[in-house]
Structure 1
Amino acid sequence: MVDLDGVFRREWGPAVAALARWSGDLTVAEDAVQEAFAEALRTWPRDRVPDNPGGWVLTVARNRARDRLRRESVRPGKEWGYVVEEIQAIRARTDHADPHPVRDDELRMMFTCAHPALDRLSQLALTLRLVSGLTVAEIARALLQTETAVGQRITRAKAKVRHANIPLRVPPAELLPERTPHVLGCIYSVFTEGYWSTAGPSAIRDELCDEGVRLASELCTLMPSEPEAHALAALVLLHDSRRSTRVDADGTLVPLEEQDRARWDRGRIARGLNRLRLAQGSTGPYLPQAVIAALHATASSWDQTDWRAICAAYDKLAVMTDSPVVRANRALAVGFRDGPDAGLAALEKVAHDPRLARSNLVASVRADLLRRAGRRDDALTWYRTALASNGSEPGRDYLRRRIAECGG
């Protein structure tokens, strides 16, 4: 059986990024790669998967893009030879004009999508689509927006990149500070979509986790003096150290308190702690998150977790971000520090924030705190509420398990 979905997840981003650099047009690149995968779906089951599927996809996509540009060139005053000259000029600019020695087309694409001409949400949506290959539905869930709104954002963003002639390159040093926060956010979104899949049959997408870790490391190589890049790298490494224990042999989610700590990846924990040391001095949001991850990764047991330090880190993060998601997660930590009733009181302060209206986070946290408080009937109601808005099948299975434990 052809695992086309796995190939797509691995090869989409590199193919789109490489073809965008070759053609200078994001829409041409995306459409051509999409056509290449459609061709793969037709031919691979019959002819078998090629030895180098990524190379096959890129070759077919480049041919599709060349055909499209040739067709578009057939109009008065614009011959194919002139189009070829334009493509060669684009390739020369993108290959040699970068002020930084970046080998990774995807990282180059991220900085392109981080151009200040694009608004923040459009930057993120465009990057998640073009670099990560996430569907519009997946991006909508990640951004807590409707699919229609996200689709329109992506279309407008691509048009603006094209019409404004935004170069496909890493910007010069003086422009890096304004672009870096977006690139960091996009890398983290790639990782979190892999680490906690918002939809589909699998709780974890290994290729997206690997991609997030890789891109975070690549950014540290590009910007070795940027502490927030090291903070992000620490965060994803420390989270990723627990990846293999987050689901059991049947693919069922395993809560942190029940995970086998002996199976955590000590090498990744060590690398994450080293990145954390390099991140000292960071004033951005990834450092307190990395500190929280480090406190979990280094606790000898669930009972030995330093919830006081974790709550302190959440307090710093809440001041930095004014995020209702942070405040909801902080409420759960308060519940572990001071007891479930204290956690419920903290949750109530954020429960009605309209930014959480499309999320099941409040319902999930409230249900968990109620269960720990022994209020099983109330917990059952909120677990059912959380189940109704959860798009991940492993997440739904986990909630069903909790419902059964509460007598539902």
Structure 2
Amino acid sequence: MRTRAGSRRWSAAVGVAVLAATTGGALSPPAAAEGEAPSGQVEFPTHCLPPQEAGLPPADGPTTARITVDDPAPKVGDTVTVTYQVARTPAVNPLGAELPADALTPTGRILLGGAQSGEVTVVGAKRNDPVQAGAGLPAVTMTGTFTVTAPGMITLAPGSYTLHTGHLLDLDTACAVTGAPVSERLTATPLPRANLRSVALGTAYGKPGAEVKVTGVGFAPGAAVTVTGRAGAAETADRVEATADERGEVMAELPVTDRATTAVVAYEGAAWSAQEGSGPAAYTVIAATPSGTQKVTAVVEPGALSMTQAGASIALGAFPYGEGGAAPGRIGTVTVKDARGGPAGWSLIGKVTDFTGPGGVVIPGASLSWTPSCTAAPGSPSRCVAGSAGVVGPEGAVLASAPDAEPVGGTFTIDATVALTLPPYTPPGAYRAVLTLTFS
């Protein structure tokens, strides 16, 4: 699935450099001043029920939390990664002894509102310092994904969460949330023929062999649907077949036996694709740890597709009045970083307006041509393909691209020499145009 990363504009002038830059990317919020709460942090009452085996009373008190998203302006059909950070909880260590390090698995739910309703299941890795008996449980971070199904503003509010401790006994401390305020908002834009397929899980974790209730929506009515486990971009051995009903909904029970499974997806056709498959729903296989051993878990989190550019203008060479020819120049070096970890490639396309000069003289944008080059950094799994040399013009031309593949990713350096061809006796002065690079 391709994600629009924004666009930048640069102006070019014969003999004169003129800046005219815009950006379509989201601006990061200003950092919180010392002593202030981070942007989006909210506080709400919580009722935490310790496991019955602990013999402890319920814990009531405030939870301080924050929800963030990796894309505040997605399109319908995009998969958004959400993070639920609990900075403070009233829950306490349910053991009568010290809880060792990395024995706490958090799971939770985020409530969607506004243009899209529903819940997002989130799960966190085992990352905690030792907790003394009777002491409060530490801060936790949980992540998950959901597919945007409707345009407009979508609100995200903290929901209930469960703190699972897996030392000596498997114990769950369930924390119920009521009336939590909205912590994050995003605005989704419509996309023609958007992929609205998504899945939700009845639980976010379980032991090997546990059956997981999978609910899917947005599939073609009557379509054959494959529900399968996934580890990164690869499918695992967990698989079951289902059929979408007349409303495009799917209900399935997926036995999860492969310990490599970290998510569940569903798709139509012979294999998963961004056009006919759902986004992944996070799932964790909790295996019993034999005495005297430690299980080590590493999590590789997907990143973003981004673009930066050195410099903000293009200065073309000048030549004497009366002589026609090409004014040479070079665009600022563009660096593309693809850390999404998915199967979708990307493309970088340039368009240029007509050049205007003194007295309203117009030089057609088609007079500007370029010769692109593109280099992938060592170790990048994707190929970087430079666009063809030729006219840029108002219709646009490809500067560089990376094809869809499995897997994709890497860092790419993109350059291009440019030349503006002017006729003889072009009136003296500066001629300006805007070159727009669109990244998708």
- Which category describes the TM-score, using the shorter chain as reference length? under 0.3
Q: TM-score, normalised by structure 1?
A: 0.23
Higher normalized strand content (fraction of residues): 2
Q: TM-score, normalised by structure 2?
A: 0.22
Answer with 1 or 2: which has the greater Rg. Answer: 2
Higher normalized helix content (fraction of residues): 1
